[in-house]
Structure 1
Amino acid sequence: MTDSPADGALKRSVGRHGIWSAGLRSEDPARRGELAEAAAELEQLGYGAVWLGGSSAARHALPLLEATSTLAVGTSIQSIWQYDAAGSAAGFAEVEGAHPGRFVLGLGVSHAKFAEQYRRPYSALVAYLDELDEAGVPSDRRLLAALGPRTLGLARDRAAGSIPYLVTPEHTARAREILGEVPLLAPELKVILETDPGRARTLARGSLAIYLTLPNYTDNFLRHGFTEDDLLDGGSDRLIDAVFAWGDEAAIRKRIDTFVAAGADHVALQVVDGGSREALPREAWRRISSLLA
């Protein structure tokens, strides 16, 4: 077993707030300049980290790391079924050699719907971590997208912490209890810059729809006090308001702070505006940085 890091270096590296984005992982060569420019601005705005959605790999971090000097870049998440451990270790070594200390390997088991080989996910994740250990990928530079108690325990014992996706402050508080004080806890939180309740919740339901078909998420909601009725018709208002931050700037800041108060070290903020996941909502990122100042 590999001990979790004790010096807090990763917490200092990622800071209190970061941006979660699928658009920043683009493999289109024509977009490299756009990605580099956006990453440089995020660093200037004061975000400590960028988290790449869409089962990203180490190579997707390179354009962002090359364009910045302090920004941490992590995968959120890299599916263990899509990328084998040997390839992940090689990618980590390449990026670490070019940009020491700035890349974080975020891993997860994804979902049966997206991986034909999905079997015994917990055991598969343990075996994957064993291979990463053998390949020399340090535990203090990897995080697990942990939702349930067993995987959170694994994040505590075999990684630097957890990057849970689509969770509530109540989940964050429970995760903190399981992880203990030292490991990084960096939940993702969706942000809607909309003050009208109807419009905000309509946008939220459009974003949430795919996740309500995935048992890993729905089971987690049920573990934390929601009912089957909360999962119907795109999600109840209670569920929407628990997993999205929406409203005016004061309300959004208060919601983000609720996760911090519950035990989050870092909050990865994902803008939801009804646009393409490939888009870079840079004006929204600027507005959020202002409300966090």
Structure 2
Amino acid sequence: MALGRVGIWNRTVAEGRPESAEAAAELEELGFGAVWIGGSPPVSMAENVLAATSRIIVATSILNIWQHEPADVATQAAAANAKFDNRFVLGLGASHGPMVANYSKPLATMKAFLAGLDAAGHPREQRLLAALGPKMLELSAREAGGAVPYLTTAEHTARARDILGPDRLLVPELKVVLTNDRAEGLDIGREHLQIYLTLPNYLNSLRTLGFDDADFADGGSDKLVTGTVAVGDESVVDEWVQRHLDAGADHVAIQVLNSPLPRDQWRALSGLTQHRS
């Protein structure tokens, strides 16, 4: 799977409006290797981006397994790949307790969903799991093509690579605020992080990365924001990307927080698609 150095994590680009399709086509022309559709998108949202492009890889990041049946997803994924030259990748996740009614045993539920995909003939190499902890990462190595960790650091990327082994795809998401105004960047980053401070899975993961309850209080500490969001110009973002790659990532999914459809920032970051010599 030729993903290149970086891709773009965004939901608005897949919403099917004319401006979204135009933005998707431009991302391809700018040289980004993949579009990672944020939120809990169905396969049909990926098809909006696939239809607007001709080369770029398109993935769900992530499809919520509590909202779909595995046999249906397998059928939809196969149809998307048949129609669009095998450019679709199925990113799956178990979501979070506060967001799902009757939430329980996410690891067991994911195993059952993957078994359903297997039974329906979905290729394991065409699926990635949203994995933070060791057990979900181990499952990603055994029963998927790799992992797409969200809200992590390069330290987590190194740990994930050790668990996944050398042959599984590892695609961390990286939050970015492209600005030279540090105060503005911190404000945007802190506002974005608010929802995650209510979700135990993320808090538990962040604790393993050196953050604690003081960092989660009062809207989030500067340490939390500057430790999880790349704030600065293109060179700063490039350094963050390279840290993930050096830690074992195959590709980094950049989520620009400046606006819902940050086309100016994507243009400014297009130089990151080039591999360093």
Q: Do they superpose with TM above 0.5? A: yes
Amino acid at match of 1:284: Q
What aligned pairs does 1:164-203 form with structure 2 within 5 A after superposition? 164-203=149-188
Query: Residue 6 of structure 1 aligns with which residue?
Result: none
Cα distance in structure 1, aligned partners of 2:11 and 2:130: 16
Larger CA deviation: 204-213 vs 91-100: 91-100
Query: Residue 282 of structure 1 aligns with which residue?
Result: 263
1:77-104 CA deviation, whole Å, 9 max, x = no partner?
0000011212211211211220132000
Query: Residue 9 of structure 2 aligns with which residue?
Result: 20
The count of aligned residue pairs is 274
SS at match of 2:175: strand
Percent identity over the alignment is 48
SS at match of 2:122: coil
Query: Residue 237 of structure 1 aligns with which residue?
Result: 222
Amino acid at match of 2:252: V
CA contact (8 A) 2:43 2:77 kept: yes
Query: Residue 69 of structure 1 aligns with which residue?
Result: 54
Query: Residue 102 of structure 1 aligns with which residue?
Result: 87
Cα distance in structure 2, aligned partners of 1:148 and 1:48: 27
The reply on whether 1:51 has 2:36 as its aligned counterpart is yes
2:207 to 215, 218, 222: 222
Q: TM-score, length-normalised on structure 1? A: 0.90
Amino acid at match of 2:204: D
SS at match of 1:290: helix
Cα distance in structure 1, aligned partners of 2:136 and 2:77: 22
Cα distance in structure 2, aligned partners of 1:16 and 1:252: 13
Amino acid at match of 1:206: E
Cα distance in structure 2, aligned partners of 1:197 and 1:40: 31
1:22-71 CA deviation, whole Å, 9 max, x = no partner?
112325xxx1x322211111111000100011201211111211222210
Superposed CA RMSD: 1.2
1:248-292 CA deviation, whole Å, 9 max, x = no partner?
22222111211111111100001111x4xxx32111110111355
| Structure 1: gaps (5+ residues) | 1-9
1:116-154 CA deviation, whole Å, 9 max, x = no partner?
021111000000000000001100000000000000000
Larger CA deviation: 56-65 vs 202-211: 56-65
Larger CA deviation: 223-232 vs 186-195: 223-232
Cα distance in structure 2, aligned partners of 1:26 and 1:66: 12
| Structure 2: gaps (5+ residues) | none
Cα distance in structure 2, aligned partners of 1:262 and 1:150: 20
2:112 to 103, 122, 127: 127
Post-superposition offset of 1:182: 0.9
Q: TM-score, length-normalised on structure 2? A: 0.95
Post-superposition offset of 1:169: 0.7
Cα distance in structure 1, aligned partners of 2:102 and 2:86: 33
The reply on whether 1:153 has 2:138 as its aligned counterpart is yes
Cα distance in structure 1, aligned partners of 2:233 and 2:59: 29
CA contact (8 A) 1:185 1:266 kept: yes
